[in-house]
Structure 1
């Protein structure tokens, strides 16, 4: 058995109701649900939510919403791991079952990447496999900007280092996290030693926390729809 859990609480502050807001013609949460269905690697796709409207939209998009998450797991500061652990416990999932946390605001997640993440988990025995991508600019040449607009390098020693001579840096793409049920219920961090990163291209990675993020994501999606799958 394999399980997909999509955490989607109702109380988003910066972009109210963003999990079910219309995104390029469909509720935002419908996009990752469709990707999970298309991946064909999940026996169940379950949405963990505290919100009846989100549950209704999720079910209409092809997922299950068999329970309502408790208020203690639905505030602004609730980490992801206990939310997935709660779903695993409620659903009585066996310890070795592969469980994927798939974010509700990941409209660019690709079915092939979900499949590849599962294979990586099975082949490596890693505690977690997560989507990662590269920074667009060398982080070693980052700047600090003060209230007056003045700038300085965070690492002045890198001032004369050529960009191509700096180590490439990666970050969490914020799309999905594969782990066995026992990894979630033990409360391990997704960056636990031995975790594996599955590379995804930068053009399919977009945090969606502000109106500017949302607009950029819609522009990207429309461009991808015009050009066809990447």
Structure 2
């Protein structure tokens, strides 16, 4: 059965002003994600949700099939994203008249993914039988070795203590930074209990050079540089 893709983006941004519609190598940032979803040929519908009419207009021009106006209460600075994803999914199901078994949510601020990353994450979900798949890159710091937490009294200590203690980072369990790029869910599981983590959640590993999430001007500059490099060697969008 064909899948549904949801893409949710607010009009406001504190870290990088107007980032979701900001020009990135000749097109709005949001267009990169819509085009990547389209290139997979996986989706019966790509649904774009926003509180911003401007972003919704940009999304239609970029190739979204469905636009969903996000309710104001789901678009505040403190509003969690899962309710907005669920609202977008439910609207897409209602408008298409079909309920797929799987849907994919893509984040606009992670435009370095490849279409093959999306397809491979979906394949991992189907192969594993898990309720969902998230994506991440190998972590720069290990909570078992060199990632510390501040205690209420001002002292610090390792985030996770292993027994026996780990004295080499190479001996620590593999840890990953979530890259906010691709989320794949079984629709029934998500609608019953919207969550990022279930007991059987799997991770699809992506390299660090495809895992920058734009949250600052530095991130934006790095993404632009990496995309320019990719285009110069012709490795895809």
Shorter-normalised TM range: 0.7 to 0.9
Q: Please state whether the residue corresponding to 1:176 is helix, strand or coil.
A: strand
Over 3 Å counting, the alpha-carbon distance change for 1:187 and 1:151 in structure 2 is: same
What's the C-alpha RMSD, in Å, of the aligned pairs?
2.5
Q: Please state whether the residue corresponding to 1:226 is helix, strand or coil.
A: helix
1:135-174 matches, cutoff 5 A:
135-139=139-143, 140-143=145-148, 154=158, 161-174=167-180
1:203 and 2:209 are equivalent in the alignment: yes
Unaligned segments of structure 1, at least 5 residues = none
Total equivalences in the alignment: 227
- Deviation, 1:26, is 1.5
1:1-230 matches, cutoff 5 A:
1-91=2-92, 92=94, 96-139=100-143, 140-143=145-148, 154=158, 161-229=167-235
Over 3 Å counting, the alpha-carbon distance change for 1:85 and 1:227 in structure 2 is: same
Structure 2 contact 86–194 (Cα < 8 Å) conserved = no
Over 3 Å counting, the alpha-carbon distance change for 1:54 and 1:18 in structure 2 is: same
Q: Please state whether the residue corresponding to 1:66 is helix, strand or coil.
A: strand
Over 3 Å counting, the alpha-carbon distance change for 1:157 and 1:111 in structure 2 is: closer
* Cα deviation code 1:172-222 (max 9, x no counterpart): 121011112222322331111101111111111112111111112212222
- Deviation, 1:10, is 0.7
> TM-score, normalised to structure 1's length?
0.88
Structure 1 contact 49–65 (Cα < 8 Å) conserved = no
- Deviation, 1:79, is 1.9
- Deviation, 1:224, is 2.1
- Deviation, 1:27, is 0.7
> TM-score, normalised to structure 2's length?
0.85
C-alpha distance in structure 2 between counterparts of 1:96 and 1:33, whole Å: 19
- Deviation, 1:170, is 1.2
Structure 2 contact 60–67 (Cα < 8 Å) conserved = no
- Identify the range of structure 1 (44-53 vs 216-225) with the bigger mean alpha-carbon deviation: 216-225
- Identify the range of structure 1 (88-97 vs 167-176) with the bigger mean alpha-carbon deviation: 88-97
- Identify the range of structure 1 (99-108 vs 131-140) with the bigger mean alpha-carbon deviation: 131-140
Over 3 Å counting, the alpha-carbon distance change for 1:170 and 1:117 in structure 2 is: same
- Deviation, 1:13, is 2.0
Structure 1 contact 82–184 (Cα < 8 Å) conserved = no
